Chains A and B, each alone.
Chain A
Amino acid sequence: MKKFLILFLFIQSMALANTNLKLLKISYLKNIFGHIHQNASRSSTSLTTLSCGHPIKVYEVTNKAGKKFTVFGSGFFYVSAGNYYGYMQSHFLVDKKPNCFQKKFPKFFDELSLEITDLYYWGRLYDQYSQGKSTVK
C-alpha cells in the first residue's frame, strides 16, 4: 500500500513537471450548467458539472518544448474548478459575474426540483449546440 502511494505521488509529480501552468484569469460560467471535460472536445468525458456563475480558473499551459498554449482544439480553455482540471469551451466563460437565471429566480428554480441527470444533460445541451449570431458587416 505504501509503495503504491509513493508511486502514485511520483507519477503525479512527473506529470506536473512535464507541463507548466500559469493562471491567466478567473472567469465565470455563463450557461445554466456546464461541464469540465477531460479532453479538448465537446464529446469528451465530463469531469464535473458546474452551475452558472461558478468561478473558473483559466490557465496558460507551457509544454516541455517551452511552447505556450491558451486555446486548445476548437476553442477550448484549460481550466480548473476546485480539484477538477480539464477543458471548457471558451465561449461559455465571461470575465464578469453573469446575471444567472438560477440566481435571478432562486425559489422558482428550486421548485423545479431538477435531478442530477437533468443537470448533466443541461450541461451537455450547451456542448451540443451550434451557436451563432448574425452581425452587421
Chain B
Amino acid sequence: MKILILLSIFLPFYLSAQSPEEIPPVSPSFKQKKDKRKTIEEKKLELVRFDKIKKVLEEDQLLEEADKKVKKVTESGRKRISWNKKRYNIPDEQDFWDFMSELWLVKRANQLQWDFEKPDYGLDLAFKKFLEKMGYYEVSFKILVSNSPRLFHIGLPSKKSLIFVLSLPFLRTMDLSKTEICLLLFEDFKRIEAGFFLSKIRGPKLKKTLGSNFYKKSFDKKIIDQLLVRYDEVVFNKGFNFQEQFGVTQQMDLLLKNDLNTWSKYYNLLQKIDDLVKNNALFKDYNKVYPSPELQMNWLKPKSKNI
C-alpha cells in the first residue's frame, strides 16, 4: 500500500519531467508515437466519424460544414507534418559553406591561435576601399588575423560573406603595408570566386547530401568530420596547383594593369614573398600551398619579342 502511494505521487513527476518525444509510449508501435504529435482537432476528427452520420447531417443541412471541417483539419495536419519534416533539412550550398568554414575555424581554434588580443589594424576599412577602387561593390567580408605561422593567408569557401584568414607572423616578418595586405586578400578573393578551394573538398557524396532532408533517416556525421580533414589538407598541405595559380595571376595582371602603381606593388609583394620563402625556414612550406611566387613573377613579366 505504501509503495502504491509513493508511486502515485512520484510517477506523474517523473513522466512530466521528460520531453514529449521521450515519454515512453504505452505500446512500442510507431503509430501511437505519431498520435501524440497530433493536434486536438485532428484527434477530435478521428472520434467523430462524419461518414456514419451522413444521413443526419444531410437532414440538418450540415454536410457542407462537415466537409469544411474535415478539409481544414486535413490541411493543418499536412502543414504540421511538413513543418516537422522541414526541421530535418540539411542546408544547401548557399547556407552551408559559410557555416562550415566557421565550424572549421572554431574546431581548429587551438592550432590557428586566432583568439588573442590585438589592436585594430584597420584592415576592414582598407579592404573595403580597395574593393570599391577595383569596382567590386556590395561584397561582404570577414577578416580573421591568426597568430600562427602554420597558415599564411587563405580565403575560405563561402557564399554570403567572404572569410579570410591572415597570419600575423607572416605579415609582420615581411612588414607588409595595408595595400600589400589588400592585394593578398584580393588574390584570395579571386580564388574564392573561381571556386578552387570548393572544388577540392566537395565530393559527390557531399554534393548529394547538401540541400536534402534526413527525416526518418540517420544523419551521417562522418561527412562533416571528413570535410574538416579536407579543409586541413588544403590549408596546411596541398593548397593550389600551378594551373590555378596561373589563372589567378593572369586575372590579377588583367585587373591591376589599369593602375600601374598597384600593379608594381603586386609585383613587389610577390618578390617579398619569394625572398621570405627562400630565406626563412618558418615559411618554407609556402610554395607547397601557393606555387610559386617566383613563377608568378615570371608570368607577370612582359614577354620580350625576338626580332
Contacts and interface: CB of A to CB of B under 8 A. Distances in A.
A118 B120 CA distance: 24
A2 interface: no
A54 to B, nearest CB: 18
Central interface residue in A101, A104, A124, A133, by most chain B CB within 10 Å: A133
B275 to A, nearest CB: 27
A118 B115 contact: no
Contacts of A128: 114-115, 144-145
A105 B117 CA distance: 33
A82 interface: no
Nearest to A137: B132
A71 interface: no
B106 A132 contact: no
B89 A112 contact: no
Contacts, number: 94
Contact of A107 (B87, B140, B141): B87
Contacts of A132: 124-125, 127-128, 140-141, 143
B91 A133 contact: no
Nearest to A113: B221
Interface stretch (B51-59, B95-103, B237-245, B246-254): B95-103
**Interface size of A as a range:** 20 to 34
* Chain B interface SS verdict (over half): mixed
Contacts of B115: 121, 124, 128
* Chain A interface SS verdict (over half): mixed
A107 B107 CA distance: 20
Q: Which A-B residue pairs are the 4 nearest by beta carbons? A: A132-B124, A134-B131, A130-B124, A132-B128
A112 B224 CA distance: 8
Contacts of B145: 128, 130
B137 A136 contact: yes
A19 interface: no
Given A118-B107, A124-B115, A131 B102 contact: no
Nearest to B84: A107
A106 interface: yes
A26 interface: no
A108 interface: yes
B214 A107 contact: yes
Contacts of A105: 89-91, 95
A130 B136 contact: no
A72 to B, nearest CB: 15
B142 interface: yes
A133 B131 CA distance: 9
A83 interface: no
A135 B95 contact: no
